[in-house]
Amino acid sequence: MNVMHMIQALLLTLLLLGGQVIRVEAENGAAVVLTTAGQAAAPRQPTPTSRPTQTHRQTPTPQPEATPSVDAKLLAAGKAIYLASYCGVCHTLAAAQTTGIFGPSHDHIGHTARQRIADPTYQGAATTASDYLRESIVAPSTYFAPGAMNGRHPMPSYAHLSDADLDALVYFLLQQQ
């Protein structure tokens, strides 16, 4: 029983003991009126003009956030570049089925990138997650992320990638939430 159902049951009990009548609406929209004796009147469907006999504030049902559509073609191209560039030799990323051990994980890197640019120790020029990922790919020595093995296996620059390939790779990494 969730908290909302427990609160409703408690309110119902208090109202019934107090000699009041209450109208309860089920999640499917059906209404039931209970009397002090706890007997249920016949259920009825709400009409556009019907109003509850007793008003109470209900928490609105949270609406799912609109999610931007994913460009499947660009996502696939980014994954192909990730694999062809051997990123998975150093980085773990479940979406690419890689288990690298030298660099930080790329799982959730789209979210992590936003955290890193907000980190006071970050000294790069990026102001967005996308810019941070691009900077990390073409100028990796700008900022050594936590978990990077900076001395023994520094990340090479991938500035040789074309702009289109960089765009696809950054897009792919941004989707890793």
Are 102 and 169 contained in the same domain? Answer: yes
Q: Is the pLDDT of residue 49 over 70?
A: no
- Residue 154 DSSP code: P
Helix (H, G, I), strand (E, B) or coil at 177: coil
Task: Give every CB contact of residue 132 below 8 A, 6+ residues apart in sequence.
Answer: 113, 114, 116, 117, 124, 126
Q: Is residue 165 part of a domain?
A: yes
Q: What is the pTM of this model?
A: 0.61
Are 85 and 167 contained in the same domain? Answer: yes
Residue-by-residue DSSP string for 39-86: PBPPPB---TT---SS----PPPPPPPPPPPP-HHHHHHHHHHHHHTT
pLDDT tens per residue, range 70-125: 999 999 999 999 999 999 999 999 999 999 988 899 999 999 999 999 999 899 99
Are 149 and 111 contained in the same domain? Answer: yes
Domain that holds residue 18: 1-49
**How many structural domains does the chain have?**
2
CA separation for the pair 25, 18 (Å, rounded): 20
CA separation for the pair 88, 95 (Å, rounded): 11
Q: Is residue 60 part of a domain?
A: no
Q: What is the pLDDT of residue 61?
A: 60
Q: How many residues does the chain have?
A: 177
Q: Is residue 2 part of a domain?
A: yes
How would residue 144 be classed by pLDDT, with cut points 50, 70 and 90? confident
Are 24 and 90 contained in the same domain? Answer: no
**Tokens 């029983």, residue?**
1
* Residue among 132, 135, 138, 100 nearest 119 (CA): 132
Q: Is residue 30 part of a domain?
A: yes
Are 45 and 103 contained in the same domain? Answer: no
How would residue 136 be classed by pLDDT, with cut points 50, 70 and 90? very high
Are 104 and 147 contained in the same domain? Answer: yes
Query: Biggest alpha carbon distance in the chain?
Result: 79
